[in-house]
Structure 1
Amino acid sequence: MTKTTSPVTGSGSGTETGPSLLYLLKRTELVVRARLEELLKPAGVTALQYTALTVLERHDGVSAAQLARDSFVTAQTMADMVRALESRGLVRRDVHPRNRREKVIRLAEAGRRLLADYAEPARELEERMVRDIGPADVERFREALKSAHRALS
């Protein structure tokens, strides 16, 4: 008989160990995204658009392909997203400084204002997520997530 690992229990041994880390991570990601969608609804932006704006806040002036990679979406999805964000004046496309045939995506002033308006509510959402975890454990959690990402990248 072949042992298989259940995505829900994380165990193939027949002993109950609880949900797998993959399942827990996905479940958490989905609820975070849903709460972020609720939070951002008044601004008329999606959680994915907000993510792209936060990427630009940290790394302004990137290609659409790089923005897509850093925002965890496909190039086609990012192309549609950039058009929508640009039509709202949240981002702009400029000629690349070293390659005039290429465009870079930049955060517009309206995008900066939106991020400033939602910085505190987003911080509160994150705090809510970890409110039952002590500060030292939150930092270990952050480092563990970074380590897990590095291991799979």
Structure 2
Amino acid sequence: MSDDVLIPYETTLYVRDHCLCLQAQRAARALARRFDDALRPVGLTNGQFSLLMSLNRPAPPPMGPVANLLAMDRTTLTAALKPLERRGLVRIEADPRDRRGRLLRLTEEGRRLLTQAFPIWKETHEKVDAQLSAVDMNALRAGMMALA
């Protein structure tokens, strides 16, 4: 194989400037860091906040719908639940209708922590929305949901 450049540098710049996947990844990482920093005082990451919030339902959900909402496979969801379960924020229970299934219950401690975390999330989100004031946020969310 020769040392010849097969793809010109201009192509790299074109991809950098046009690739939606790259821009979405960069934005996701920047948002994740921002929310991680904001939620650090209550001992949560943005992913843990989203997971706890996804369990804030009238009845404990099964793993499948939670994994689907968070765009995770069940194995990844199980790994993400373990530290929350160890902290007493979440309980994983057998489904009484199907003992093979698992239901995910937010504990009282989990609800208390989520109650502390929500105002932090809301304030951080308001700052992000203000930073993007020139963007139609409903269109942005709709576009992102269409891709998800």
Question: Normalising to structure 2: TM-score of the pair?
Answer: 0.76
Between stretches 106-115 and 70-79, larger displacement belongs to: 70-79
Structure 1: where are the runs of 5+ without partners? 11-19
Deviation string 1:32-64 (CA, Å, 9 cap, x unpaired) is: 100111122233332222111111115752222
Structure 2: where are the runs of 5+ without partners? 1-10
Q: What does 1:104-115 correspond to in 2, within 5 Å?
A: 104-115=103-114
Give the superposed CA RMSD: 2.7
Q: 1:112 & 1:49 partners in 2: Cα distance?
A: 13
Q: 2:107 & 2:82 partners in 1: Cα distance?
A: 13
Give secondary structure in 2 for the equivalent of 1:7: helix
Q: 1:32 & 1:58 partners in 2: Cα distance?
A: 25
Give secondary structure in 1 for the equivalent of 2:91: strand
Aligned-residue offset at 1:81: 1.9
Q: Which has the higher contact order (CA 8 A, sep 6+)?
A: 2
Once the two structures are aligned, what percentage of the paired residues are identical? 28
1:48 aligned residue: 47
1:149 paired with 2:148, answer no
2:16 aligned residue: 8
Between stretches 95-104 and 49-58, larger displacement belongs to: 95-104
Q: 2:17 & 2:131 partners in 1: Cα distance?
A: 23
1:37 aligned residue: 36
